[in-house]
Chain A
Amino acid sequence: MIPLSLVASVAVLGLVGIGLFGLLVTRHLIKVVVGLQVLVKGALVALVLAGRITGQVQVAQSMALTVIVADTIVSVVALALAVQVRRQFGTLDVRALSALRR
Chain B
Amino acid sequence: MFDLLVVAAMLACAWMAVRGARLLIAALWLAGASALAALLLYRLGAPEVAVIELSVGAGLVTVLFVFAINISGEEPPGALTSPVPWPLAALAVAWPLALAATMVLPTVRPAAVLGPADRFATVLWEQRGLDTLLQVVLIVGGVLAVLGLLAARRPRPGKEPR
Residues of A whose CB lies within 8 Å of any CB of B are 2-11, 13-22, 24-28, 30-31, 33-35, 37-38, 41, 44-45, 48-49, 51-66, 68-70, 72-73, 75-77, 79-84, 86-89, 91-94, 99
Contacts and interface: CB of A to CB of B under 8 A. Distances in A.
Contacts of B14: 14-15, 18-19, 38, 41
A3 B1 CA distance: 10
A35 B45 contact: no
What secondary structure prevails in chain A residues at the interface with B?
Answer: helix
Interface of B: 1, 3-4, 7, 10-11, 14-15, 17-19, 23, 26-27, 30, 33-34, 37, 40-41, 43-46, 48-49, 52-53, 56-57, 60-61, 64-65, 67-69, 71-73, 75, 77, 80-82, 84, 86, 89-90, 92-94, 97, 100-101, 104-105, 108-114, 117-120, 122-124, 127-128, 131, 134-135, 138-139, 141-142, 145-146, 149-150, 152, 154-155, 161-162
